[in-house]
A and B are shown apart, each in its own frame.
Chain A
Amino acid sequence: MSWIIRAGRAVWEFVVGDDPFTALGVVLALGATALIAGAGAAAWWVMPLAVVVLLGLSVRRAAR
């Protein structure tokens, strides 16, 4: 069992790294895109907006 936990931690560390807020933001942005597109409206603008906001916040947190 312990190796599964270790493997899970390694995968988390590898993919998410030291910034879980950005990962969560990406998931929320993809969800919002799916919801808006599902409602029949244009949703392409959500991801560019999310990327600029998430990157800006991530950089600001790291720079402090």
Chain B
Amino acid sequence: MSGQDVALAVSVFLACAVEAVEALTIVLAVGVTRRWRSALMGVGAATLVLAVIIAALGPALTALPINALRVVVGGLLLVFGLQWLRKAILRSAGLKALHDEDKAFASETDAARAAGRAGPGFDGYSFTIAFKGVLLEGLEVAFIVLTFGASQHNVGLAAVAAAVAVAVVVLAGVVVRAPLARVPENTLKFFVGVMLTSFGMFWGAEGAGASWPGGDAALLAIIPGVALASLGMVRWLRRAPAERAVGEPA
């Protein structure tokens, strides 16, 4: 397994774990307050849709010429990664609320109770909420699996990393029987944002015809470089309000 394969597996695993934690909170909320069977059917249906998306688009993407693929995938990863990174920077600087699974769980259970009591048999509310939650969180994972996997011509490895992440999160959820509030979600999102941006930059430039000094080893400078620039922005944002306050008239 090459260094890029390891980075691919770690990035997909972490991105998938973060999304799986959020999906688990939604499924737990409707399962606990309403009907487990219908919620799990929703999870199964969403998983099936996601598997079909990956199975359909994966081979189509990998059939593209490598440079065209890398410029498209690099651009998409960059746009996506910069969004993750911007939100993570704002959260770290205290300018955006941290994602709180306990709060999200309380809000979902309140909504589930407000929807009335579940009748006997199939519960449409549990099915729909679980289906939507897993599908929406899963789409981001499918996107990352496809883009990372296609660029490395290893969609299989990306899919396995995603499946392991889901299994680990589900197992933890079964053991804890509560939302996984202790997972350092915001730190993980920061890290995933750095990886998406770094790989997007690397593949995008290569696809556009540029050659990185040192070839693949350039990633060893790109990843810490993006991380340092992002941490610098967090520091700048934390100091900015204090400087504004000093500059304001008394």
Contacts and interface: CB of A to CB of B under 8 A. Distances in A.
B125 interface: no
B176 interface: no
Contact of B86 (A30, A36, A59): A59
Given A22-B79, A23-B79, A43-B210, 11 more contacts: A15-B79, A19-B82, A27-B75, A30-B207, A34-B209, A37-B208, A37-B210, A44-B205, A46-B205, A51-B197, A55-B229
Contact of B210 (A44, A52, A54, A62): A44
Contact of A63 (B79, B90, B218, B230): B90
Interface of A: 14-17, 19, 22-23, 26-27, 29-31, 33-34, 36-38, 42-44, 46-48, 51-52, 54-56, 58-59, 62-63
Contacts of A52: 229
Contacts of B222: 48
Given A48-B222, A63-B237, A55 B86 contact: yes
A26 B205 contact: no
**Which secondary structure characterizes the binding site on chain B?**
helix
Interface residues of B, number: 37
Contacts of B181: none
B72 to A, nearest CB: 9
9 contacts: A14-B139, A17-B79, A44-B211, A44-B213, A52-B229, A55-B230, A59-B90, A62-B95, A63-B237
B208 A33 contact: yes
A15 B201 CA distance: 16
Contacts of A15: 76, 79-80
Interface string B217-234: 010001001100110010
Nearest to B213: A44
A30 B80 contact: no
B201 A62 contact: no
Given A26-B79, A44-B205, A51 B226 contact: yes
